[in-house]
Structure 1
Amino acid sequence: MYHQINDKINSIYFYYIIVFKSTKNSENISPLQFKSQYDVIENNSMHMLDKDLINVIPAIKYALHLPRFCFDVIDCPEEIMLKWNGNSHNILLIPDSQIEKIEHYFCCVQSYPTLFIVADNCDSDAIKTCKKYKPTLETCKVSELTDSLLNTHWNILSQIVQQMGEVSSTLSIQHSFLSDNIFPALPLLFYANQVGGHDIIIKELMKPDCQIEKVCIEWTCKYSMMLDTWSYFISNNIDRSTITEKQYIEVSERNKKFSSSVIASFPGQSKVLKKNHISTNGYSSVDNQIISIMCVHKAIEKNGIYINLPIIQDDAFRLLNELESHCIDSRKYNNKYIWNTIMKIGMILSKNLNDYQIFALKYSKDITFFSDFPIGLAILPNDEVPLLCYKSITYRPLTPLTRQLEFELRPNRRIILKSKITIAFAQCINDNDEIYGHSEYVYNFLKSHSNCFTVNHAKITTIKEMIEFINQNKDADIMYISAHGWYQKEQNIAGIEIGKDFWMANDNLVFPPVVILSACNVSPRGRGAVCIADLLIQNGAVAVLGTFIPINVIRNNILMVRLFTYIIEILEKRRKTQNLSQLWNFIVFSNAIHEIMKQSKGLEKWMYEKIAPNKTRLHEFELERCVGKLRPNHIYSDTISIIKEMLDDNGLSGKYDSILNSKDFFPESFFYQWIGSPDSIIIDNGEQGIKL
């Protein structure tokens, strides 16, 4: 069977086009989404959804029930299933006035539309235009979508794949459209279809006392165990015909664990937006359905599970706003206050989560949060550090919801960075600024590693120069912007300074896939501000790094140099292939030692002292002392224990206890945030195959 899957069938992807009736005259939607209080009240959406899309919500859900690509309809061998990663549904939302623009899209992807679904309130001309493109499954209206049609569509696609790929066996399953209450379990079915578990899961989901998270976790564990077991046999070249039941059980037991990607929705907004009439007071069913659609789409892509968390309490936003304000207004941070506030945020959030939700977050492989709140800051029960210290986290802000839906449904854009990476370095700090020398430190580091990086550097003094620089560097891999941040609380906007001007990247520009904002508070979340980081995503960036608070330029340099150092190590094959989210998680996890050292000049000097040629105590800590001794969710206490052990061994017992025992250190790395899809940015060492 495996050898019968030829190159032709490997390239078969399905494309679903959903046409909605547009009431807008302009093709471009304002980044701020709503221009008046009337627009918001009429819309009745907490997270700002364009009401034109409401009529096609059933169509998007229907498309998610259909196969993504050829392998969803084939009885796949384990070798193929093990390579499923990053395969999402290709769903295009298009207004009825712009249907003909899809012709250019399909010329680019060298494919054809699979199905058109047209909103019932579109006129007959829209349907005629769709039919002109002769989609594989023809054209239908939203009102025509039924279980019967769903099965017909699956069967037609199965027959086409069977004929084109000379495949002897396709799946035979009775599909049904999941109701809203069990829709979050849809990602499970794509694996269940392959192993005969579809009907069993549906039956379990239909029970009156069904707990969705429990079902998802249990079945995901089973599938992960099965795939990990077959991965072991395949990677060790063990002939499956020789595998005994005892062998299979032994290997399965070793792989019996929950290690799945978790996609979590966490809706809610700051009270500031409600007071200023920028959002409605209520969380509508429309919000809930669109957020569920985005999360299910992402969970199917990542072979993960979706958990729907309760609405964020106002107290969490209030505490975050107070924390951000403290860091902005204080000349010296109160570290104890910062840690206590983070703990309070964790307690507020945790008390509203059930045991299955907490389990899923703590034991996941990685997490994608669809939320306006940085939940990674939360310290969960029995932990001493925030979730972001030990989990690879990707944030996807929810507001404005129309833009976020558009971003999520874009064809998956995986960026593989290897060999030599091109970086566009925009220096917006004036050369007479006291931090200019520090801000050039990262540039000089990159320039000194010309074997790994090509750096295009420019001093930017006006917005016009910035726009020209961006247009000249559209093909760069990374854009690094060094600037002063500018957070206007009264207007609730955050951007950067360029010369004497304030800039938010709200021009019609095309950015490189990765943008690093080396600037203060460009992504504050406590007040629900409109941020430059979010607008960069709307302008085509795939992943953006920003900060909640003012940052220390020297500490920032440490983090940035560490990031690029690990990228160098991957490119030079000294570190395994990783995505950007995984790499950043390791940086935050292992930054505890640097943050503790920074609180005492004496301790920092002692750690940097050489104890042998080309070896400092910091090297001893990183390469010898801490190996196998650092628990991810107890990283600070374990780091402190090792430092005390090193001090004891050098006859310095009790020294620096005033810092080490009081948690009097500032966790700066907690206040950086990747948004977008950093998990789609792969740093490749060229030695390991990238999964499909």
Structure 2
Amino acid sequence: MRYRSQTDIVYVVLFHPEGEVRDYQPIVDLKSTSVGLGSAPHGFAREPYPILKPIWYCLHLPRNQLDSQFAGSYLINQSKGFDFCHELIPLPISMINEPSVLSYLGSMRTVFILHPDDAADQANTLRVLINGLFAPVPFSTLSTKSLVQHWEVLTSATHLVSPETSTSESEQPRSMPFVEDLDVGQSALSGLHMARWLNVEDENLDELFSTTEKAVDSTFVACQVAARLAKAHASGLSARDDNDADEAVDHKPHRVRVVFAAAGVPERYQRLAFGKTAQEVNKTEQLSLWGKLDAANEHRVIESAVIAMLVAHRSIAVGGIGFRVNDIADGSFKILSELEQHYTCGKPKPKVMWRLLKKLGQRVAEVLGPTGQRLARSSSSITAFTDFPIGLAILPGDTAPLSCRVPISQLPLTPLTRTLQQECANHSIVYLKKNLTVLIAECLEDGDRIKPISRGAWKMLKSNISGHPHVECDYVECSSSAQLNEALRQKDYSVLILSAHGAHVREANVAGLKIGEEISLGIDLQNIPALVLLSACHTAPRGVGTVSVADLLLRQGAVAVLGTLIPVDVRKNAILMMRLFVYILETMQGNYPFRSLDQVWHHVASSNAISEVLSSSHALSQWAGSVFEGRTVIEEFMLHRSKSRLRPGHIYEDTERLLEEIARERGCGEWFNAAMKSQGYFPESILYTMIGRPDRIVVNDPDIDSVV
């Protein structure tokens, strides 16, 4: 079941396409492609350059009717988790008569059209066709003065009086300060929107958000106030108690949602795609100033402006903090490639893998800097616009990867045109609680030595989940993409488990799936469900900038895709997938406090430490099932020892310590330490990466239940 967040306002930004409008085509062979990819290194097409100024302008305007008033605790509590974003549609002028465009825009309450100065006739035609309320706005008229006028017009059109907001307050719509510097604005705009909701005096805002450092700190404070007000309302305090909420609610710091952007691609990718590196393309540095965007032609400036818009848009939507960190250097990608290669070439050595993870941690710590590290440690979730899996990194002071600390959703930056298009859209919430429909597609060929193991695991999973309310699970075997497409047409599935061999062709720089005798990059698949779980080896490698099936499935309509950086063991993978569905079902039934898939997956992957330690040798696996005083080792650990004693940043170290404690009490402490020292283990589950928007796949939410 899918539900759209309430936007009320759709901003349509018209632009001139160069020639025939074509759908984005993925780069499937970098050796044969050196032109037409747009800017280096992330690939932003030249055609949409003119839309950047109006998009930044729109991010200063209201998102919906809630922005037409000052928000008390009632509205802040109601908005929690619903991702109120600016819905922005960059629209080629040649498509204004498309039936699907007219049908969608005609169904929206408020459509605000912005257009190039020479496209007034086409903009007015579109307005007439959709019965628009407002006259289209030429790009050249956008200014700080027009911002005030447009706030007044839009808030009056979408105005709704909250049951807990006084009429006198709600009839005072006002704009927010305009941020000319995009580098500052990507951290400031979310806080400025929250400050407006919280009715902060205008004269204080310019100083509070004047630099990136001040913007980050001020937004953090605004997040804390908003969290306290939401908690106050949940505790029974109404809007008129907001002034007292600061005293009535616990002052313990609340975790905040953080949006990072980390640019950078491997130099190998740059040379194959563009014939040169970004450093060679960009000889000068320019500031990303709104007034100069029309004249910008440096690739780095254009890409920085687009990335700033991604960060600002997402952080505004989630009510969090946006922050652009330093670029990922090629050396970090080389370490990642070494890690991926080490796991691919024979049996991996745990000590080597841990050493590489720590090296990555040092590099990522430099990328994040002190501010980024502080935000990462205080976050409730991280959305990362990057081509690098930052969740792998072990930060200074930690002994476990960052992904064990906090849910991380990775949104690949490349190609940047597609990323901006996807980010501007208002993605529906996919709600699993009332309708979880799963398709397990087994694509391994008959005669494959691992197919019996795989088939047995999937049939066990189907049996385990099929008896639950609101759950359906089908199992099919497919030997071609055509057969898989036929299976996907049978129902509106919410989850696809795609079991196949991975096909990582380093020479062509692609990573796909072997479906029968075919190699699929995903672009031949249709009716893709919201969640795709790729049960296959190295479907999302990142070390050399590979074009992967995981990334391309997002383009095909998936909301979130789970892939792997490395080859995976069929048995361990099956256990991990079964654990994932156990926790999804338990969350649906209200037995765990998780709301969305990113939280569920984070718990599954990080709590897999006990399994990875004990499965590192046959002797440890057998010891795990041994009984002492009526309890197995696993039962003792899970039900008693681990409660409140596992620190997220040290979850593997703490797991070892607690197991050693159990072993000593059972008289085998020295044996346990010897086994750990001789065998070692590696956290394979952290090399699974969740890309896309798993936060939009909601498993259980009482607020959604109340309106369904």
TM-score by length of 2: 0.89
Paired with 1:163 and 1:291, the residues of 2 have a C-alpha distance of 33
Q: Does 1:143 align with 2:122?
A: no
**Secondary structure of the residue that 1:52 maps to in structure 2?**
coil
Deviation string 1:547-601 (CA, Å, 9 cap, x unpaired) is 0000011111121010001112122332234211111111121111111111121
CA RMSD across the alignment: 2.6
Q: Which amino acid aligns with 1:224?
A: C
Aligned counterpart, 1:534: 551
Aligned counterpart, 1:281: 277
8 A Cα contact 2:223 2:319, kept in partner: no
| 2:350 aligned residue (317, 335, 340) | 335
Q: Which amino acid aligns with 1:260?
A: V
**Secondary structure of the residue that 1:277 maps to in structure 2?**
helix
Deviation string 1:599-634 (CA, Å, 9 cap, x unpaired) is 121111111224477x53202101111101111101
C-alpha change, 1:603 and 1:362, in structure 2 (3 Å) is: same
Aligned counterpart, 2:183: 181
Aligned counterpart, 1:269: 265
C-alpha change, 1:386 and 1:51, in structure 2 (3 Å) is: same
8 A Cα contact 1:336 1:663, kept in partner: no
8 A Cα contact 2:440 2:497, kept in partner: yes
Q: Does 1:293 align with 2:309?
A: yes
Aligned counterpart, 1:457: 475
Paired with 1:690 and 1:663, the residues of 2 have a C-alpha distance of 52
C-alpha change, 1:524 and 1:88, in structure 2 (3 Å) is: same
8 A Cα contact 2:410 2:691, kept in partner: yes
| 1:564 aligned residue (581, 588, 592) | 581
Aligned counterpart, 1:377: 392
**Secondary structure of the residue that 1:654 maps to in structure 2?**
helix
Q: Does 1:607 align with 2:624?
A: yes
Q: Which runs of 5+ in 2 are unaligned?
A: 279-298
Q: Which runs of 5+ in 1 are unaligned?
A: 1-9
Aligned counterpart, 2:75: 80
**Secondary structure of the residue that 2:385 maps to in structure 1?**
strand
Paired with 1:632 and 1:79, the residues of 2 have a C-alpha distance of 33
Aligned counterpart, 2:255: 259
Q: Which amino acid aligns with 2:17?
A: S
How far the C-alpha of 1:27 sits from its partner, in A, is 3.4
**Secondary structure of the residue that 2:511 maps to in structure 1?**
strand
Paired with 2:628 and 2:20, the residues of 1 have a C-alpha distance of 70
Equivalent runs, 1:157-236 vs 2, <5 Å: 157-162=154-159, 168=168, 169-179=170-180, 180-184=182-186, 185-197=188-200, 199=202, 202-204=205-207, 207=210, 210=211, 212=212, 214-236=213-235
Equivalent runs, 1:494-643 vs 2, <5 Å: 494-507=511-524, 509-611=526-628, 615-643=631-659
Q: Which amino acid aligns with 1:76?
A: A
C-alpha change, 1:631 and 1:398, in structure 2 (3 Å) is: same
Paired with 1:508 and 1:237, the residues of 2 have a C-alpha distance of 49
**Secondary structure of the residue that 1:481 maps to in structure 2?**
strand
Aligned counterpart, 2:149: 152
Aligned counterpart, 2:328: 312
C-alpha change, 1:307 and 1:241, in structure 2 (3 Å) is: closer
How far the C-alpha of 1:130 sits from its partner, in A, is 2.8
Paired with 1:385 and 1:59, the residues of 2 have a C-alpha distance of 43
8 A Cα contact 1:221 1:256, kept in partner: no
C-alpha change, 1:382 and 1:288, in structure 2 (3 Å) is: same
C-alpha change, 1:272 and 1:29, in structure 2 (3 Å) is: same
C-alpha change, 1:29 and 1:181, in structure 2 (3 Å) is: closer
**Secondary structure of the residue that 1:656 maps to in structure 2?**
helix
C-alpha change, 1:588 and 1:251, in structure 2 (3 Å) is: farther
Deviation string 1:393-437 (CA, Å, 9 cap, x unpaired) is 000001111111111111122111114411111100123222112
Q: Which amino acid aligns with 2:112?
A: L
8 A Cα contact 1:428 1:461, kept in partner: yes
| 1:668 aligned residue (678, 684, 695) | 684
| 1:468 aligned residue (483, 486, 489) | 486
Q: Does 1:362 align with 2:377?
A: yes
Aligned counterpart, 2:404: 389
Paired with 1:432 and 1:316, the residues of 2 have a C-alpha distance of 40
Paired with 1:504 and 1:496, the residues of 2 have a C-alpha distance of 7
8 A Cα contact 1:575 1:685, kept in partner: no
C-alpha change, 1:466 and 1:239, in structure 2 (3 Å) is: closer
Paired with 2:544 and 2:143, the residues of 1 have a C-alpha distance of 43
Paired with 1:662 and 1:344, the residues of 2 have a C-alpha distance of 23
Q: Does 1:680 align with 2:676?
A: no
Q: Which amino acid aligns with 2:380?
A: K
8 A Cα contact 1:75 1:170, kept in partner: no
Paired with 2:159 and 2:347, the residues of 1 have a C-alpha distance of 68
8 A Cα contact 2:39 2:45, kept in partner: no
**Secondary structure of the residue that 1:292 maps to in structure 2?**
helix
Aligned counterpart, 2:296: none
How far the C-alpha of 1:197 sits from its partner, in A, is 2.4
C-alpha change, 1:221 and 1:646, in structure 2 (3 Å) is: same
8 A Cα contact 2:227 2:254, kept in partner: no
How far the C-alpha of 1:47 sits from its partner, in A, is 0.5
**Secondary structure of the residue that 1:448 maps to in structure 2?**
helix
**Secondary structure of the residue that 1:312 maps to in structure 2?**
coil
Aligned counterpart, 2:459: 443
